[in-house]
Amino acid sequence: MSPDSTVPKILPLLAQRLSTVIQNRIVVIPETFGSGTCSGYVFNEHIRLLILNYDLREDLIVKSPEVMPPGKMILFKFQNVIPETQGANRPSVLIATSHMQTDGVVPIHSHRSTLNIEIDAQYLKSLLDTSHLPPLLQSLIENTQPLLFEEMIFPSLQTLVDAIVSEPVEETFKLFFLRVKVEELICRLLMVLKKRDQTPLYALNPHDLEIIYTIRDQMLARLETPPVIEELARQAHMSSSKFKRLFRQIFGDSLFSYYQTFRIKEAARLLKEEKLSVAEVGYRLGFTNLSHFSKVFHEHIGTKPKQYSRS
């Protein structure tokens, strides 16, 4: 492959808008526009990677030169996975069919820390033994309806992301090294998705998706208040059954189990980083019974909160 053919076509357009140039497949944001970098790699006609880690003084809109027909590409969008930008944000990955992104307009937001992988659905299908695919993976790879799934990033995935973003590799092996890591990332995510058993799947529309995420974010911002499904469904203008069904489909867990996981993660953070007492943490997160708090904490973390705070 020639050097130019390994550069995603969006990068030259971005460099032009920012009055700069591409060097080694990297656009460095000029100080007059902000800071950070955008880099990209086209491994072959089937798979490509963008690493976006920047702050701009204002949003930009760029018309994508690579609009694929519906059903062509599957997107894996890793969020808050670049170590220096994680902070209190939740590292996660969105897995979306191309039917979820069809307008061809790329919003270059003022802040972005993502790693985007696009892979051809038919190429991905050719790598798998499709005779044993569960319905969820079958629907994803067939790529015929608008679907989106979110998974939290666990340590083995974060290790792969760290290698892609920051491991020094000489140019001779760079594309080969990154492609292997990218394909391993995708494989590991498919193995996780395979554990989900929800069927049937329901086609998503942008309006419902936006509402589900808005309510999810509000719920996680108020971890001291256990969610009431009927109230959240009413807020979403959905029936309780539809709300529960879409939430589980997107996040792979029931609403309350998802909430409880984040509640206990926050409890662990408060115990370790803020050095709060077990009672302070329990009451702050809405537990009225500290014995119950200790039991739930042990179920999720594997140790009692008092022992955890001392370890």
Most confident of 31-45, 48-62, 100-114, 187-201: 31-45
Please report which helix (H) or strand (E) contains residue 211, including its range: helix 206-221
DSSP count for the chain of H helices, then E strands: 13, 10
How far is residue 80's CA from residue 98's CA, in Å, rounded to a whole number?
A: 22
Q: What is the mean pLDDT of residues 30-57?
A: 92
Compute CA distances 223 → 30, 169, 277, 291, whole Å: 40, 42, 18, 18
- Domains of the chain (ranges; CATH) run 3-193 (no CATH), 206-310 (1.10.10.60)
- pLDDT score, position 3: 59
- pLDDT score, position 103: 42
Q: What is the mean pLDDT of residues 271-288?
A: 95
Q: Which two tokens stand for residue 53?
A: 């880690």
Percent of the chain at pLDDT > 70 equals: 90
Q: What is the mean pLDDT of residues 70-96?
A: 82
- pLDDT score, position 102: 41
Q: What is the mean pLDDT of residues 69-90?
A: 78
Report the chain's mean pLDDT, rounded to a whole number.
Answer: 89
- pLDDT score, position 86: 52
**0.85 surpassed by pTM:** yes
